[in-house]
Every structure is written in C-alpha cells, then in structure tokens.
C-alpha cells in the first residue's frame, strides 16, 4: 500500500499571494512526523494527486483549508485522512472531505489506518522522528538575513504544546494546554539526523521553547554542531531570565 503525505497549504506557497516563489519561507512539513510504518510513503510536495497512491495523509492548516477542499473533492474523500490544526478545531466539517479525521497530535497513525470504520479519531501523542529522507532538504528555504541561500536548513522539536491559553493561538486546543518535553536521547538522535543530512542552520519549532523546563540541558546538545540554531518560541519570557540568555549565547 502506498501513502501520499501532504501539507496544506503547500510548503512552496507564500503567505501573501499563494503563489510559488524561490525564496518563500519554508519549514520541513510537520506531516513527516506521522509517516506510517506499515506503508510505502511518498511526500507529495506540490499537492497534485498521483495515480499510483492508494490514500493520502493530509496535514491541514486553516490557511490551507480551501486548497485542501479542492484536493479532497478531486481525489474523493475515501482516499483522504486529515489531521492538524484545522481538523482538530472543526473535525465535523473536515469529515465531509475525509473519511477519517485525526484530532490532536498523532503518534498512532498506523492504528487509525487499520480501523475499518470511518469517523473522527483521537490521536495518541508520541515523540516520533521526522522522516526527512522523504524530502529534498535543499528545497527548504529560510528567509532570514543571516542565512545564505545556499545553506541547508532543517527543523526539529524538543517539546510540543504550551501551558498557556492565548486566544489568538490554536496550540491550546491542539495540546490541551499541556507541554510535553522530549527525552534528551530523542533530541540527540534528531540532531544527529540533521547533521547527517548536511544541515548548517537549525530551526527549533517548539511552540514555547522558552518555557521548556530542560532548556539548558537541551540547548547544550547543540553546541558546536551547527553554524546557527534559532527559534521563534523564546519571546518576552527571556527578558526575565538573564541566565537563559547567557546560556543560549554560550551554546551558539
């Protein structure tokens, strides 16, 4: 059985226009964290259906909802399994376009695929490794002024979720206001995989890296391994923690 992995909107789409440009902001698609173990998997970067794929596993953000609907109508809902932020927020609506909808994080996708019935399923959380081998790492792009276009960038997580409940953010619903922190050996294996793939700049994509209780231990694992490590999950919390700031600087 062959599974197509897709993210909506396409990782090649820009935020403003929805068109493909060479230097759009890109991250490794999060759907690669839930690649099934019991199927042959292919990452469909352009979101165009392929004849030899048996079913599609789709990670859907709200910005990609309309694009996803068009895709599902084209392929037929019986070939679509959907999860992610938008399906978690509106599972009944998404069920009109996918025969299975996964709510929340999903570390049990093979169990859900094996279910004969259709419907809405609760995902079981687990720290799974990103299947970067399904992706051309050179196609990623980070449009920050201190990252050169020829560099290979990668991303990873050291924690998932956030303890807060900001009204503008969908993470609280996705995580249930829980913050789950990865074991150090998981982080080490992810770092090793990124190094093996020639990555020079790493984006830590945690929703709330600054509130990670093991921030110092985890950040120490990156020392000397990449040219630069950066994260959006730091925020104003750092203004109150001089020790965090100095430690992060020391680790590069």
pLDDT at 115: 94
Q: What is the pTM of this model?
A: 0.88
Range 68-81 average pLDDT:
97
Q: What is the DSSP letter of 214?
A: T
What would the CATH number be for the domain defined by 2-122?
3.40.50
CA distances for 157 relative to 114, 127, 213, 232, angstroms: 27, 9, 14, 12
Closest CA to 105 of 158, 157, 175: 175
Contact 5, 134 (CB under 8 A): yes
pLDDT at 20: 58
| pLDDT tens track for 152-208 | 999 999 998 877 777 777 777 777 778 889 999 999 999 999 999 999 999 998 888
CATH architecture of 142-251: 2-Layer Sandwich (3.30)
Tell me the pLDDT band of 251, cut-offs 50, 70 and 90: confident
Residue spans per domain, the chain: 2-122, 142-251
Cβ burial, residue 22 (10 Å; 0-12/13-18/19+): exposed
Contact 45, 81 (CB under 8 A): no
| pLDDT tens track for 94-120 | 999 999 999 988 889 999 999 999 999
CA distance 77 to 209: 37
Closest CA to 4 of 75, 64, 102: 75
């Amino acid at each position: 059985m062959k599974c197509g992995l897709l993210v909506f909107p396409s990782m090649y789409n820009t935020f403003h226009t929805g068109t493909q440009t060479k230097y759009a902001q890109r991250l490794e698609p999060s759907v690669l964290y839930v690649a099934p173990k019991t199927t042959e998997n292919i990452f469909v970067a352009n979101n165009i259906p392929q004849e030899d794929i048996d079913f599609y596993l789709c990670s859907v953000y709200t910005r990609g909802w309309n694009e996803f609907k068009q895709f599902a109508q084209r392929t037929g809902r019986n070939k679509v399994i959907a999860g992610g932020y938008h399906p978690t927020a509106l599972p009944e609506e998404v069920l009109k376009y996918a025969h299975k909808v996964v709510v929340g994080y999903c570390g049990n996708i093979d169990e859900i695929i094996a279910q004969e019935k259709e419907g809405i399923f609760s995902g079981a959380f687990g720290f799974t490794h990103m299947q970067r081998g399904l992706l051309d790492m050179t196609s990623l792009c980070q449009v920050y002024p201190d990252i050169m276009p020829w560099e290979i960038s990668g991303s990873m997580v050291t924690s998932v979720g956030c303890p807060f409940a900001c009204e503008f953010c969908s993470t609280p619903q996705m995580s249930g206001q829980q913050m789950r922190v990865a074991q150090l050996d998981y982080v080490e294996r992810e770092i090793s995989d990124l190094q093996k793939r020639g990555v020079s700049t790493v984006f830590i994509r945690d929703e709330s890296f600054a509130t990670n209780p093991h921030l110092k231990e985890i950040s120490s694992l990156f020392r000397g391994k990449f040219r630069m490590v950066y994260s959006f999950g730091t925020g104003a919390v750092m203004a109150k923690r001089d020790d965090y700031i100095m430690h992060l600087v020391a680790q590069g």
